[in-house]
Amino acid sequence: MKHWQETARVLDRVIGLGQEGRASALAVVTRIRGSAYRRPGAKLLVEDTGAALGGISGGCLEEDVRQQGLVVLRSGRARLVHYDTSDDETRVWGLGLGCDGEVDLVVLPISPATALGPWTRVRELLDGDAPVVLATFAEDGAGGGVLATCAGSSIDGLGEPAAAIEVEAAARGALERGRSGLQNVSQRRVFTDVLMPPPKLLVCGAGEDARPLVALAASVGFRVIVVDHRAAHLTTELLPEAQRLVLQRADDPGTNLPSDAETYAVVKTHSLKHDTAWVRRLIRSGARYVGILGPRARTRRILEEVGAGGDGRVFGPVGLDLGADGAEQVAVSVVAELLAVRAQREPVHLREREVVHAGD
């Protein structure tokens, strides 16, 4: 879900640079082996000024990738880059970082014309709710074109019509598998980047303590919708990170609120009456997670009232036990629980896990 949000943010900047007549370079992780901080599809945009946006590691590779991006930007030719982050500095690109992993990237040149053409159309797809697959050539010297497929339609911006049909077929295959990766297509290397739409977080209650939750959840990739019956609380000045603000009571008719299996909800109106009404509505929906703020006794009372005592989707009191104090720390506790539930992970200390990063 993070890749979708990151890609949208990077492409917003790509398009802005294109409108100014400026080129850029886009580094994309195509493969990892061993321990790696980011997964295939992670992106770093390099501008002609040397400014960068996004990330392809925990910070250890970014400076070198930025330099690679400047070379690609000036030459207009793509470049493959391989990093070995083990302790052995004699290996190719060895940086002696001690992370014991390898990372492959392709750095793509993006001209103003390409930015305002196919990449702009790709960005429009990311405002929707359907999965999107981006396919690019992962080769030295290739252009910075992209082919995108989404819900039966496609955007061909590769600049190579003869290859488009097979590349599109490879992209659709990647979508069916649900995994990004490198593929051989007609003796060409193609990276297919599968972007799944972000999950939705419905925050029922727009009080002051909702603001850090909205901001943090949005920053990690949730599309946040805030609903409240008090218009004064629903302003973009107070909740700028929310995708939508909805003025509504729980018992108001209407279907404009998300309610599918990719919907997570946190109920926090600070009113027993309104919280109970929202929990009743959410239990009847297909929401995957229903978090309830408040003490255990209060939560039990709400669940008894709505007849949902045994529903495993209910998390109340909401959040992980982090010893949180204050709205900001409670937000961390709640978002951590949301991420754990979405990943189907039982929260533990990382030092207790045999496998930590992708590829370990």
What is the DSSP-derived secondary structure letter of residue 299?
H
Structure-token match 């496998």, residue found = 355
Poorest-confidence range of 9-23, 26-40, 47-61?
A: 26-40
pLDDT of residue 35: 63
List, for residues 301-329, the tens digit of each pLDDT value. Answer: 999 999 988 899 999 999 999 999 999 99
Task: Name the pLDDT band for 90 (thresholds 50, 70, 90).
Answer: very low
How large is the C-alpha radius of gyration of the chain?
23
* Percent of the chain residues past pLDDT 90, beyond the cut: 73
Average of pLDDT values for 116-120?
A: 96
With cut-offs at 50, 70 and 90, classify the pLDDT of residue 39: confident
Residue 53: Cβ within 10 Å count: 17
What is the pLDDT, as a whole number, of residue 342? 94
**Does residue 88 register a pLDDT over 70?**
no
Q: What is the mean pLDDT of residues 149-156?
A: 85
- DSSP β-ladder status, 223-228 and 200-204: parallel
**pLDDT above 80 (res 92):** no
Neighbours of 55 (CB within 10 A): 18
Q: With 80 as the cut, is the pLDDT of residue 181 above it?
A: yes
* pLDDT at 1 (0 to 100): 59
On the question of pLDDT at 153 being above 90, the answer is no
Q: What is the mean pLDDT of the chain?
A: 90
Domains and CATH numbers, the chain: 2-195 (no CATH), 200-343 (3.40.50.720)
pLDDT band at 131 (very low <50, low <70, confident <90, very high): very high
Counting runs of H as helices and runs of E as strands, what totals does the chain give? Answer: 9, 16
**pLDDT tens digits, one per residue of 330-357:** 999 999 999 999 999 999 888 887 766 5
**20: DSSP letter:** T
End-to-end CA distance of the chain: 21
Summarize the confidence of residues 8-31 as an average pLDDT.
96
What confidence score (pLDDT) does residue 227 get?
97
The pLDDT value recorded for residue 87 is 52
What mean pLDDT do residues 250-262 have? 86
Over residues 186-226, the pLDDT tens digits come to 889 999 999 999 999 999 999 999 999 999 999 999 999 99
